[in-house]
Amino acid sequence: MNSMWTETSKRPTFPALQTSIKTDVLIIGGGMAGILCAYLLKNAGIDCVLAEAKQICDGVTKNTTAKITFQHGLLYHQLINRFGKEKASLYYAVQKESCERLVSLCKNMDCDLERKDSFVYSLSDPQKIQNEVNALRTLGEDAAFCRETELLFPVAGAVQVKNQARFHPLKFVFGIAKELPIYEHTKILQLQPGKATTHHGEIRFKTAIVATHFPILNKHGAYFLKLYQHRSYALALEGAESPRGMYVDEKDTGLSFRTYQNLLLLGGGGHRTGKQGGNWKELEQFARRYYPGAKIVTRWATQDCVSLDGVPYIGRYGKNTQGLYVATGFNKWGMSSSMVSAMILTDLVQGKENKYASVFNPARSIFTPQLLCNAWESLLGILTPTVPRCPHLGCALKYNPQEHSWDCPCHGSRFDEHGALLNNPATDDKRM
C-alpha cells in the first residue's frame, strides 16, 4: 500500500543521534511542516536540529494528494461569518503567500511542479458554491462559478480558482532536506523545559517546535479535545480519462481528482478514524462505473487532523508553555499550511511579531459544536468495556477490516494487528 509518491522517489537517509548535543531550536517531527520549519530557520541563520522517531516523511506527508492551493474547500464563506472579514482576509493572504513560496522553491528543483486551476464542487447545493464565490471575491480573489466541469458526472456547481499548483511532495521535501541538520530514528522519550531525552543522548535547547501531526503532549493545550482525525483513501488509475484541473468535493465524504503523469489519482471514501466509511471499496466501485477499462496501479490511505473551527493551530503549545510551539490541525490542507506554520513559527521563535499569528493562535476559543462531538466520542471510547485499549488515553480500539488495523475513534491512534504503532497521538506500540 505504498503511495504513488513513495514508489517514484529516492529517500535520503540521516544518522541517528548518538550523543548529547545543544541547539537553539529543536524541531520534533520530520514531516512536511517540521522540515519546512528547519529549512526556514536554517536560512534565517538560526541554529536548529530536527529529530524524527522513524524516517522523515514516513507518516502523513508521503500519503498526501499534493495540491498546492489556498482554496480549502468552502472555507472562506465560513471564516467571514465566524470571524469577520478582517481575520478571513489574513487567513487568505497568508495561505496565498505560502503557496507562492512553495512554488518558488519548487522552481529550483525537479519535483514535477504544474500550474493548474483548482475546483471545489457540490453535487447538490449551488447556493453553497455561490456563497463561496462571493466570499472569495470579497477577499479580492477572482473566483468563478462553474456549472460545467470536466468531471464525468453532473454537479450543482463548482468554485474555480485559477493558477494553483500540484507537485511531487517527496521529491520536493527530500530535495530541501538534504542539507538540513536532521536525526532519524531519534525518538523523543521525554520532553522537559530545555531538555529532550532520547535513547542515546539528550538534546538541550532554548525553544522547541512540536510538528508531530497530532501533538504528543497531553498535559498542555487540550489537543485531545481540540482535534479529531479523519481517514481518506486513494487509488492511482492507469487508462482513466483524466481532468486537467484539480477537483475536490465540498463534503468530507466526497471524491477528489487530480493527475500525475499518465495516472488519475482518485481520492475519497473518507470517515472519522475508528468509524465505518467507504474506504477503497467505494473508490473501486466508482472506478468500475466511470473508468471500466482502467487499471489500479497502487492504493494508499492517509489521515488528517481536523481542528474545531477549520483553522490550524500554529503558535504557543499552551498558555503556560514559554518556548514551546506547535503546528497541527491542517484540515486536509497540509501543503500550504505546513509552509504557513514555518513562516509563522520562524518569526515567533525569534521573538518577532507576525501579523498572521493571531488567526492561528492555539489558545483561541474552543466553544464550538465540534467540541461537544469530540468530547462525546472520547467519553464513549473510555466507557466502552472492550479490549484492546489505546495506550494514549485508554479508549477502546475498533478493528478496521479494510486496513487490518486497530483504530482509536477518540483521538485517531492506529496500530497494526501485532500492536505496532501506525499513527499518533499514542507514542508507543500496543501490547495486543
Give the model confidence (pLDDT) of 319-365 as tens digits.
889 999 999 999 999 999 999 999 999 999 999 999 999 999 999 98
Residue 112, sorted as left (phi over 0), alpha (psi -120 to 50) or beta, turns out to be left
Q: DSSP character for 255?
A: -
CB 277 within 8 A of CB 151: no
Beta strands at 207-210 and 324-328: parallel, antiparallel or unpaired: parallel
Total-model pTM? 0.95
pLDDT value, residue 386: 79
Domains of the chain: 4-64+170-225+310-360 (3.50.50.60), 369-423 (2.102.10.10)
**What digits encode the pLDDT tens for the residues 157-185?**
999 999 999 999 999 999 999 999 999 99
Mean pLDDT calculated for residue range 148-158 = 97
**pLDDT class for 137, splitting at 50, 70, 90?**
very high
